[in-house]
Amino acid sequence: MRTAVLVLGIVLLVLGLAGGGIGLAVSNSDVATYNSRCLGLFPPSGCAAVASEASTFAFVALLGGLLFLVGLILTIVGAVLKPEGAEATRVVVQPVYSAVAPQIPQSYSTPPGQLSSSLTSQSNQKEMFCPACGTHYPLGTQFCGKDATPLKEMV
């Protein structure tokens, strides 16, 4: 629908501009002809036809101007309308990671706030944790298996 309204508006703009311009040019020419030849007490024959033609083309210029305005309004409405299929063309931007997160077996991860029994028994061993979700991982793991966030070393 948007495309049809835009095309119709642009076509009416061009037709209105052309019609109004031609009508105005011919009307002004006929008025100049009438003023140069038909003034005086005894105007020559054909002056009525020139005056009639001038008023006809003045009306054509008026219609061209109205057509131009309608085309302008339709073009603005077409530009403001929502594009067809806007929901289908929505782009979802997701973060890009520099490396693929490794698949960590579920036995290595522990819920936030809980340390595995092997880690608590070895108090001097360092471990990694996810700053986003708080899950703990063995030393040397680089990315969280749940959300692919780079891990930080826990002292």
Residue 21 confidence class, pLDDT cut points 50, 70, 90: very high
| Percentage, residues of the chain above pLDDT 90 | 32
Query: Are residues 6 and 74 both part of a single domain?
Result: yes
Q: Does a structural domain hold residue 21? A: yes
- Partners of residue 92 on adjacent β-strands: none
Is 26 found in the same domain as 70? yes
In whole angstroms, what is the distance from residue 30 CA to residue 65 CA? 19
Question: Last residue of some domain: 23, 47, 80?
Answer: 80
pLDDT of residue 92: 60
Tokens of 49: 């036809």
Chain centroid offset of residue 39 CA: 58
What are the tens digits of pLDDT across the range 76-89?
Answer: 998 888 877 655 45
**Domain extent at residue 121:** 105-155
Q: Are residues 55 and 19 part of one domain?
A: yes
Task: Please tell me the total count of domains within the chain.
Answer: 2
Whether 71 and 18 have beta carbons less than 8 Å apart is answered as no
Residue 48 has what pLDDT? Answer: 87
| Angle formed by the axes of helices 2-37 and 47-80, nearest 10° | 160
Measured CA distances, 53 to 22, 63, 129, 143, 147 (Å): 13, 15, 89, 84, 79
Q: What angle do CA 88, 94, 99 make, to 5 degrees?
A: 140
pLDDT of residue 16: 93
Mean confidence (pLDDT) of the chain: 80
